[in-house]
Every structure is written in C-alpha cells, then in structure tokens.
Amino acid sequence: GPKELDMAHFTKQKPYFKPEGGTITVANSSTMNDGAAVVVLASEVRAKELGLPVLAELRAYGNIGVPKELMGEGAFKILPKLMDRAGMKLADVDYFEMNEAFAAVVGAGMKEFPELNVERLNQWGSGVSLGHPLGCTGVRQVVDMVYQLRKRGKSVGV
C-alpha cells in the first residue's frame, strides 16, 4: 500500500536543478515507472463498420519546443496554439489532463492560465502521484481524460 508521509523527509531533500534557491526536489518530482498501454485509433467510419464504440474524437493537436530552462512547461505553452487550431478558447474546455513531471510546473501553468483550476485538472493525479512510465504516460492521460469527461457528462478535453 501507500507509504506514510513523513514531512521531515520532504524538507531534507536538496534542490535538483538549481542547488541555490531551487524548489524542485526528488520529493516533488515524478518517478520513473514500468507501464504499458495500448490505444486503437480509427476513423469514425471504420469504427462503425467494426461495431466499435467511439470514445473520443481528436479535433486538433500540436507540438512546441521550449528552452531547456523551461523544460516541462511545453504542455502549457502549446495551449494558445492548440486552442487556435481547434477554433476554441480555454474556457470552452471541460477538463484538462496535463503531464505533471514536477509539481511546480503544474502550479506555474495554473498561474499562467487560470482556466486550469483544480476542479478541471488531473483529478486522478498525474506524474508525481502516479509515476511516469515512459511510453505509456500519454495514453494513460488520454484515457483518464476520456473517462473524466464521461463521468462529468462533458465532452471537450485537452
């Protein structure tokens, strides 16, 4: 089961990236984990031909690069470009599932984009709480988002 939290353990951790004044430590960062995931992508026509349920529709996607000093913030920096491609505003999004390799990065994203509030973001946790199985995280996030939307009776997620 889960380990008991020991706050003394957290306060003893040294900053990882910025030794003087840094806040990111091993205690507030995601761990590398084993994991596997699979997702089937198909056109709506083909899914119907095969009698498969359509769980989600991909409206837009994008990629972005950020300077190494902003590593981890790319998931938030892409939002304006992504919303423009989809012809939407962040306020139109019902739920967000964002990678949380470091807790501080999500906090910075929430500060920059107030629409990313705790009621609509990472309700089942993310990298810090669930771990970060490379090659699996993206699919896990999409599936979590789809099920959060279904649970809420909503339809638009990022």
- pLDDT averaged over every residue in the chain: 86
Q: Is the pLDDT of residue 29 over 80?
A: no
Predicted local distance difference test score (pLDDT) of residue 138: 86
Greater confidence (86 vs 71) lies with: 86
Nearest to 132 by CA among 27, 38, 37, 32: 32
Q: Is the pLDDT of residue 32 over 90?
A: no
Q: Measure the CA angle with vertex 148, ends 3 and 104; round to 5°.
A: 50
Q: Is the pLDDT of residue 135 over 70?
A: yes
Nearest to 88 by CA among 79, 78, 96: 79
Q: What is the CA radius of gyration of the chain?
A: 18
Greatest mean pLDDT among 29-43, 59-73, 110-124? 110-124
Predicted local distance difference test score (pLDDT) of residue 79: 93
The mean per-residue pLDDT over the stretch 26-48 comes to 83
Predicted local distance difference test score (pLDDT) of residue 45: 95
Greater confidence (119 vs 103) lies with: 119
Nearest to 33 by CA among 130, 139, 141: 130
Q: Where are the domains of the chain?
A: 32-152
Note the CATH number of domain 32-152.
Answer: 3.40.47.10
Predicted local distance difference test score (pLDDT) of residue 2: 63
**pTM for the structure as a whole:** 0.76
Q: Is the pLDDT of residue 1 over 70?
A: no
* CA–CA distance, 6 with 118 (Å, rounded to integer): 24
